[in-house]
A = this chain, B = another copy of it.
Amino acid sequence: MFYFAIDILGTIAFAISGVLVAMDKKLDLFGVFIIAFVTAVGGGTLRDMLIGNTPVAWMQNTTYVFVIIGTVAFTIVFRNYLKYFTKSLFLFDTIGIGLYTLVGIEKGLSIGLNPLVCIALGTMTASFGGVIRDILCNEIPVVFRKEIYATACILGGSSYFLLKELPINNTYAYIAAIIIVIVIRILAVVFKIALPNIYKDKT
């Protein structure tokens, strides 16, 4: 129930980010909905296609479809007020990527994949909805260009495998890893931490 609430909040935050990018590109109603949809479920869908978990997740639970339809309608109508909620949206998005990272990792573990591959699946679940959103909107994906985002997923996901080695309940390790993703992302944004610049010697 608790996870489900986080999941829905994350879906809403992702869908809103999709609506905003799509409206910025002046897409029509259908385009806005599709972009919101792929932003919200694209990462998990790609993960499911790569591991052969088909029909993919959103086909098996239509709750997400309705949540996204509602979010799109709400966001189009009230988008001029969204600027008062950027902090809440950032928080939902950040909690969402924390959860999705661990959901992806568990899916990988459940079919016996290597920890490294599981971390990749978790990061993909959390961040590739935004990648597909940006490709459909004809932009280079923002997650490839700036900010700590996927990196928070990678570090938090890695921490899960360390925490699992400790003599603690697996659920605690799971929740702790989610919190680590969230904290890294928040610290990175607050202190404007970016990945090391690899272009130094070119300037």
> Which residues of A line the B interface, CB within 8 A?
22-23, 25-32, 34-35, 45, 49-52, 54-56, 58-59, 62, 65, 76, 80, 111, 113-114, 116-117, 120, 131, 135-141, 143-146, 150-151, 194-196, 198-199, 201
Contact = CB atoms under 8 A, between A and B. Distances in A.
A198 B58 CA distance: 26
A119 to B, nearest CB: 10
Nearest to A201: B80
A29 B59 contact: no
Given A27-B140, A32-B198, 15 more contacts: A27-B145, A28-B144, A28-B146, A30-B143, A30-B144, A34-B144, A45-B50, A49-B49, A49-B54, A50-B55, A51-B56, A55-B111, A59-B117, A62-B117, A135-B136
Nearest to A25: B140
Contacts of A139: 138
